[in-house]
Amino acid sequence: MPDQSAVLDDVRRGMIPAHIYNDAEVFALERERLFSRSWLFVAHESEIPQPGDYAVRRVLDDSFIVARDEQGEVRVMFNMCLHRGMQVCRAELGNASHFRCPYHGWSYRNDGRLVGLPFHQDAYGGEAGFRRKGQTLLPAPALDSYNGLIFINLDAQAPPLRDYLGDFTFYLDYYTKQSESGIELRGPQRWRIKANWKIGAENFAGDMYHTPQTHTSVVEIGLFREPKAAKRKDGATYWAGAGGGTTYKLPPGTVDERLAYVGYPFEMVERMKQMWSPEQLRVVGEDGFMISAASVFPNLSFVHNWPRVADSDDVLPFISIRQWQPISENETEVLSWFAVDAEAPEQFKKLSYKAYLMCFGSTGMFEQDDVENWVSLTSTAAGSMARRLRLNSRMGLLDDDTEVTPALPPEQFAGPGVARTGYSEANQRELLRRWADHLEQPAGDGAVAR
């Protein structure tokens, strides 16, 4: 592995060597040093509501069964038979009390315990030759959840998820805790794009600057009224803990009026007011900012927008959760879920789903243009000239590193972390700074080096 310290230094000062978006050696380092010890999203509890429900999800090349066992507990198990390594579950989702390996028939309960082993006595001499007791499919080294979002970590010594997320949970609640029941997920739509996984994560973390240009067409057709250039820069971007995101500035009003402005019905607003802390309500009600896109390091993103879904002036909010699952240095599988508060009225759920389909996901009118940019960027980053080009990611900084726009004081932004209005690439720099910190650290004891 060649020394990457010059690359990491450039990244830290906001001058991004273009080849990091399409470089096999960099991707090998990301595998070894980043994905091996970051908390990675695998599923939401609402996707497996009943005992026996399962979904199969990947982390890079590793396949995991995310299952709810008969006791109702969520288990995440490596999808590889203990005997000769066959995948014990080859469906994407379903309900099963047991997984039976198709190769030689070992069977496992949905909590991972090995319970059936054909000809145990004849083949192994029974327990004397092979102790069945205590044998389980390999559990994910670490498992934790927040508001029903299930994460795993390949490093058994990883700090708890809460510590990892840090103050980003303040913002995560806007997306995932609008009522006592939390959100429910549908999907995901899954598709592959010939783009590096980091680009989507950076874009959702803080790229307000692209909205008026890339997404001109959705404003022109009356789908979304907000992205006009002047409006977008009045929003705040914030970074807190493991994530950061963007917001829109709302017209004057109370918290009730502002939540109604983006299309939440009265009963949902009432529940949000019960769920959210005074500071969380202040960001919306007094400071006047409404969450839009966000990313949690390394590859999980969120979006909340409020388009028109019919030929009227009414708008309706939707939430999407998406993961940029790396396939290689130049290919990513996008998993895009629609999420909605479980207690929302049925009619709201329908229209919010419609809003999602029109805007994001495989057919979304925002997403279509985003992906075109990212694919083009990735393919151009492959060659020798890209190794000579440092992309300018210093927006918001003067030459001497002072900020063009100072951070908002607490009186103007009640949320934790650092927030500022105006165009800036501070969040993209923050995301890539974490990336550089990971790539610099050799894999520790807990993480397995490749």
Least separation in angstroms between residue 79's CB and ligand FES is 11
Least separation in angstroms between residue 52's CB and ligand FES is 20
Of 450, 43, 22, 424, the residue nearest 246 (C-alpha)? 424
Strands 289-296 vs 62-68: parallel, antiparallel or unpaired: unpaired
- Paired with 108 in beta bridges are 99, 114
Sign, CA torsion 13/18/21/23: negative
Q: Rule CB under 8 A: say whether 188 interacts with other proteins.
A: yes
Least separation in angstroms between residue 164's CB and other proteins is 28
In the complex with ligand FES, the residue whose CB is nearer, 77 or 334, is: 77
In the complex with Fe ion, the residue whose CB is nearer, 69 or 370, is: 370
- 131's CB contacts (< 8 A; 6+ apart) are none
Q: Rule CB under 8 A: say whether 368 interacts with other proteins.
A: yes
Sign, CA torsion 437/416/144/48: negative
C-alpha distance from residue 381 to each of 19, 21, 213, 327, 372 (Å): 5, 6, 22, 17, 15
Q: Compute how many residues bind other proteins; rule: CB under 8 A.
A: 47
* Binding positions for Fe ion, 370-399, rule CB under 5 A: 370
Element (H, E) at 187: strand 183-193
Least separation in angstroms between residue 75's CB and ligand FES is 19
Element (H, E) at 199: helix 197-206
Of 371, 384, 287, the residue nearest 331 (C-alpha)? 371
Angle, helix 168-176 to helix 278-285, in steps of 10 degrees: 70
Residue 119, judged by CB atoms within 10 A of its CB (0-12, 13-18, 19+), counts as exposed
Q: Rule CB under 8 A: say whether 375 interacts with other proteins.
A: yes
Strands 318-328 vs 300-305: parallel, antiparallel or unpaired: antiparallel
What does the buried/exposed string (b/e) look like for 53-73 if buried means 16 or more CB atoms within 10 Å of the residue's CB? bbbbbbbeeebbbbbbbeeee
Exactly one of 216, 286, 444, 446 binds other proteins (CB under 8 A); that residue is 216
Residue 365, judged by CB atoms within 10 A of its CB (0-12, 13-18, 19+), counts as middle
Least separation in angstroms between residue 173's CB and other proteins is 24
Coil/strand/helix, residue 235 = coil
Least separation in angstroms between residue 145's CB and other proteins is 22
| Interacting partner of 191 out of Fe ion, ligand FES, other proteins, none (Cβ under 5 to 8 A depending on kind) | other proteins
Window 72-101: contact mask with other proteins (x via CB under 8 A): ------------------xxxxx-x-----
One-letter amino acid of 95: N
Site residues (vs ligand FES, CB under 6 A): 81, 83-86, 101, 103-106
Q: Rule CB under 8 A: say whether 147 interacts with other proteins.
A: no
* Binding positions for other proteins, 391-410, rule CB under 8 A: none
Q: Rule CB under 8 A: say whether 371 interacts with other proteins.
A: yes
Residue range at the interface with other proteins (CB under 8 A); choices 138-146, 185-193, 288-296, 419-427: 185-193
In the complex with other proteins, the residue whose CB is nearer, 77 or 371, is: 371
Q: Rule CB under 8 A: say whether 362 interacts with other proteins.
A: yes
**Residue 267 Cα to chain centre, angstroms:** 28
Exactly one of 170, 175, 204, 338 binds other proteins (CB under 8 A); that residue is 338
| Interacting partner of 83 out of ligand FES, Fe ion, other proteins, none (Cβ under 5 to 8 A depending on kind) | ligand FES
| Interacting partner of 342 out of other proteins, Fe ion, ligand FES, none (Cβ under 5 to 8 A depending on kind) | none
Q: Rule CB under 5 A: say whether 430 interacts with Fe ion.
A: no
- 40's CB contacts (< 8 A; 6+ apart) are 59, 151, 152, 153, 154, 298, 299, 300
Exactly one of 192, 314, 388, 441 binds other proteins (CB under 8 A); that residue is 192
| Interacting partner of 135 out of Fe ion, ligand FES, other proteins, none (Cβ under 5 to 8 A depending on kind) | none
Least separation in angstroms between residue 36's CB and other proteins is 24
Q: Rule CB under 8 A: say whether 107 interacts with other proteins.
A: no
In the complex with Fe ion, the residue whose CB is nearer, 90 or 228, is: 228
Residues that bind other proteins (CB under 8 A): 90-94, 96, 186-195, 214, 216-218, 220-223, 309-311, 333, 338, 349-350, 353-354, 357-358, 361-363, 365, 367-369, 371-373, 375, 379
Residues that bind Fe ion (CB under 5 A): 370
